[in-house]
Amino acid sequence: MASRLHEIQHQSVTIEAPLPLDSGHRLPSVTIAWQSYGALNADRSNAVLVCHALTGDQYVASDHPATGKPGWWARMVGPGKPIDTDRFHVVCANVLGSCMGSSGPATPDPATGAPLGMAFPVITIADMVRAQAMLLDHLGIERLHAVVGGSMGGMQALAWAAAYPERLAAAIVIASAARHSAQNIAFHEVGRQAIMADPDWQDGQYYGSARAPTKGLAVARMAAHITYLSEAGLTEKFGRRLQARDIKSFGFDADFQVESYLRHQGLAFTDRFDANAYLYITRAMDYFDLAEPHDGRLAGAFARARDVRFTLVSFDTDWLYPTAESRRIVQALQSVGAAASFVELSAPFGHDSFLLDVPALDRIVAGALGTGR
Amino acid sequence: MALRPDLAIIADAVPSGARVLDIGCGDGELMVALGAKGVDARGLEIDPANVTAAIARGQSVVQGDANRDLADYPDNAFDYAILSQTLQTTERPDRVVDELLRIAPRAFVSFPNFAHWRVRLALLWNGRMPVTRLLPVAWYETPNIHHVTVSDFRDLVRAKQIGVERAWHLSGDKPTSDAAASWRAEHAIFLIARG
């Protein structure tokens, strides 16, 4: 599967400048794949950067080239949508380390031409943001009207405000966190171990072989998918209902609908995602702690971001990045005097609520972009 | 739509360029009026639907509870704190007043006067908790858990050695004198300052 994924052509640019990484390594050059929507205005003041989540991509509002499905945030981004492409020039870049055209573990080693695999350096959220800033430099966009993101996208929006406060007017951070908790790291480690325990992983050098760790990647996706949903949501959708049968099989087939659903989710994921990219990006999220460079004081990260307008949204059924974490961020913002908005919205879909039909979220995003009513 | 009379008075009294926290800001109505005159207004509001409406209007509003979340604001973060029609709903109004004057040197506090003559009469004649235009909800479901009168508030600020820079008393939409306020004011607005 991985080989087919890497045959897709993406719009991208290779910037021949070194990208210094938090790890101390540097990439000699960096390739960034991106999509844009809506026209950049004459004074280049209407750019909105949308940052995608762990398994997202740059196809925020256009059909996915591998699956043919609509863009992952097509309900939010487009003409007349809350992020209105009739007014804003929306840019979305595939994050560093991912598998949709940007530099990552599938990138060829310039010396040998073979994919780097695990020789690709470990990257961080701040590194992703540095790469995005290089892309914006390339596109001639000095300052952003807003950076918007949910989940890991929200982490990038926070990291943008910490690293380049002078380059953005507003940050919209949805269902996100300023650091990964022990529980967050624990779930990611289950996923990574599932991938690395798959004999087809081959220490990450599976690209040229006929075998790819699709089983491990599917299990990783299954475990993660559970964390994106609420217990009530799962119960409502599946309960204890059996899948295409009237009685239990007394075997290990997918008896329950929820099992069948998860297996399908896991398998479908392997058509559109690369196992090594999953390792690298989950690692970047686990390393994320915005307060760490400031002696553990989150407010220190926002000391230069007083003039950025922040909007944070959490969901009452999201146990992955719960409301308490958003509140902690708001407290840090208030302590430095930054303009912050925050609301906990009620929605039944758990963490995934930020991707789904929550009309109040649409109103908030439009309002935070200055186009609300 | 015209602002509620107590909000119109506050909007008029806040100087442009001031930094203001509107506590219990509702859907941001007063913040919009303040913003129009160049005031940097932030809001705190407990009801998520109101917070959503205020953010949709472009206001900076945090969902939170005045009983707890004022503690998150640093000392002197604002020039003015505004607490309109909310004091009587808080768990400890005295502590909330202390918090207002910690986060800002001055605060506007407005509340319905429980000693207005209609309230007094209703209690005297009916022997029941009054339901009036400004106190429209029955005792068991009212959010007003600490009914307060103009005289009570004057006593509280005196005991705390808090200064009163100005006071407005309203009967309907019309001002009434300080002297008659205890009986005649439906509504009181105090501009208090650290003593």
- The single residue listed with the structure tokens 């309230």 is B119
Using alpha carbons only, what angle is made at residue B73 by residues B69 and B78, rounded to the nearest 5 degrees?
A: 125
Q: Supply the pLDDT for residue A110.
A: 86
Q: Are the beta carbons of B30 and B14 closer than 8 angstroms?
A: no
Q: How many CB atoms lie within 10 A of CB A133?
A: 18
Amino acid residing at A248: K
Single out the residue of B52, B95, B38, B42 nearest to residue B73, CA to CA.
B42
Each residue's pLDDT expressed in tens, for chain A with a length of 373 residues: 445 788 899 999 999 999 999 999 999 999 999 999 999 999 999 999 999 999 999 999 999 999 999 999 999 999 999 999 999 999 999 999 999 999 999 999 988 999 999 999 999 999 999 999 999 999 999 999 999 999 999 999 999 999 999 999 999 999 999 999 999 999 999 999 999 999 999 999 999 899 999 999 999 999 999 999 999 999 999 999 999 999 999 999 999 999 999 999 999 999 999 999 999 999 999 999 999 999 999 999 999 999 999 999 999 999 999 999 999 999 999 999 999 999 999 999 999 999 999 999 999 999 999 998 7
Q: What would the two tokens of residue A41 be?
A: 């205005």
Choose the closest CB to B58 out of A337, A344, A370: A370
- Burial of A75 per CB tally in 10 Å (0-12, 13-18, 19+): middle
Would you give the DSSP letter of residue A58? S
B29-54: per-residue pLDDT in tens? 999 999 999 999 999 999 999 999 99
Residue B85: in which H helix or E strand, if any? none
Single out the residue of B194, B3, B17, B5 nearest to residue B102, CA to CA.
B194
Residue B173 has pLDDT above 90, yes or no: no
B3-39: per-residue pLDDT in tens? 889 999 999 999 999 999 999 999 999 999 999 999 9
Choose the closest CB to B63 out of A344, A368, A370: A344
In this complex, is the C-beta atom of A316 within 8 Å of any C-beta atom belonging to chain B?
Answer: no
Cβ distance of B57 and A367 shorter than 8 Å: yes
Choose the closest CB to B55 out of A331, A335, A364: A364
Residue A350: in which H helix or E strand, if any? none
Q: Supply the pLDDT for residue A2.
A: 46
In this complex, is the C-beta atom of B63 within 8 Å of any C-beta atom belonging to chain A?
Answer: yes
Q: How many beta-carbon contacts under 8 Å exist across A and B? A: 65
A63-95: per-residue pLDDT in tens? 999 999 999 999 999 999 999 999 999 999 999
Q: Supply the pLDDT for residue A3.
A: 52
Q: Work out the pLDDT band at B1, boundaries 50, 70, 90.
A: low
Choose the closest CB to B58 out of A340, A344, A372: A372
The residue among A297, A309, A330, A341 with the most chain B CBs within 10 A of its CB, best to mutate, is: A341
Q: Are the beta carbons of B190 and B157 closer than 8 angstroms?
A: yes
d(CA A76, CA B46): 26
Single out the residue of B75, B77, B93 nearest to residue B24, CA to CA.
B93
| B-chain residue closest to A316, CA distance | B48
Q: Are the beta carbons of B82 and B107 closer than 8 angstroms?
A: yes
Residue B134 has pLDDT above 90, yes or no: no
Residue B177 has pLDDT above 50, yes or no: yes
Q: Are the beta carbons of B186 and B172 closer than 8 angstroms?
A: yes
Percent of chain A past pLDDT 70, that is, above it, reads 99
Q: What would the two tokens of residue A267 be?
A: 């398998």
Active site residues of A: 151, 318, 351
Cβ distance of A363 and B56 shorter than 8 Å: yes
Which residues in chain B are closer than 8 Å to A372, comparing Cβ atoms?
Answer: 55-58
d(CA A275, CA A197): 12
Residue B125 has pLDDT above 60, yes or no: yes
Q: Supply the pLDDT for residue A224.
A: 97
| B-chain residue closest to A342, CA distance | B62
DSSP assignment of A136-162, as one string? HHHHT--SBSEEEEETHHHHHHHHHHH
Q: Is residue B17 classed as helix, strand or coil in its secondary structure?
A: coil
Q: Supply the pLDDT for residue B135.
A: 80
Interface of A with B in 294-313 (CB under 8 A): 309, 311
Q: Nearest CA of chain A to the CA of B69: how many Å?
A: 9
Q: Nearest CA of chain A to the CA of B146: how many Å?
A: 27
Q: How many CB atoms lie within 10 A of CB B36?
A: 10
DSSP assignment of A84-127, as one string? ETTT-EEEEEPPTT-SSSSSSTTSBPTTT-SB-GGGSPP--HHH
Mean pLDDT over the full length of chain B: 95
